[in-house]
Amino acid sequence: MAKVIGIMGESGSGKTTSLRNLDPATTFYIDCDKKGLSWKGWRRQYNTENGNYYRTDDKNEVMRSLAWLNCDNGTYAAYQKILGKNATILSEDMKTKARTFKTVVIDTLNGIMVADEVERMREKGYDKWVDLAQCVWDLLNYINTMRDDLTVIVLCHSQTQKEDDGYTFTRIKTSGKKLDKLNVESKLTTVLYATATGGEYKFQTHADHSTAKTPMGAIEESSIPNDIMIVIKALEDY
């Protein structure tokens, strides 16, 4: 079972920047927002020539990439299960390349949701929302079954609800009421809330008017520096 980390936050809160210290040699980046990364020199680190960067917001292409990355044991079963009978046979070189990656980034889950919503915006009825919810749920279920030596990082935009009495609560932003009911956070063992206050970028690690959470005893501090490597190390030690 892969280690799955969710990072939520508003635009500009440092979600993508928090990944700056990941090793490009062992990280595969799926850019679903199609906006590139947010630090100087990222194009030399992540690109198609290096084979570690894929720009797509197509839900099927994202699943195809994950299925390829999960081919860890030389078998074809997991890959074929995702792609069906039309899946192409993976070469040994493709399998070897997949095994070199130890971290997978999906940036962002919302990019997939919005792309699907726009593509089907002219459709009437409730079915398109059911299909979208099923797609996201299947993706989240799948990443939790990926190989043990993988860390999957899912970036998400956040939404903050404010009640009439002034109480606020922040959670992962979703498209459609069906996904609200499914509760995306329930599929993530770790959810970090990225914040930017006065030029200081932090991760909130525990619930404080939000759905932020980490395994009990893994990270004691409620606020830590905005660096995903700190979190990965803590989870590995845990």
Any idea what the Cα angle at residue 94 is, between residues 81 and 87, rounded to 5°?
Answer: 30
CA distance 180 to 178: 5
Please tell me the pTM assigned to this model.
0.90
Q: What is the pLDDT of residues 179-217, one digit of tens each?
A: 667 789 999 999 999 999 988 999 999 988 999 999 999
CA distance 49 to 68: 18
CA distance 205 to 220: 9
Q: What is the CATH number of the domain that holds 53?
A: 3.40.50
Listed in sequence order, the residues at least 6 apart from 159 whose beta carbon sits closer than 8 Å to its beta carbon are 170, 171, 172, 173
Q: Look at residue 141 in the predicted model and tell me its pLDDT.
A: 92
Structural domain range at position 134: 3-237
Question: In the numeric block, which tokens belong to residue 236?
Answer: 């590995």
pLDDT band at 221 (very low <50, low <70, confident <90, very high): very high
Q: Look at residue 88 in the predicted model and tell me its pLDDT.
A: 57
Mean pLDDT of 108-118: 90
Quick check: 135 pLDDT over 50? yes
CA distance 18 to 8: 11
Q: Choose among 173, 179, 183: nearest CA to 134.
A: 179
3-state secondary structure of 153: strand
Domains identified in the chain, total number: 1
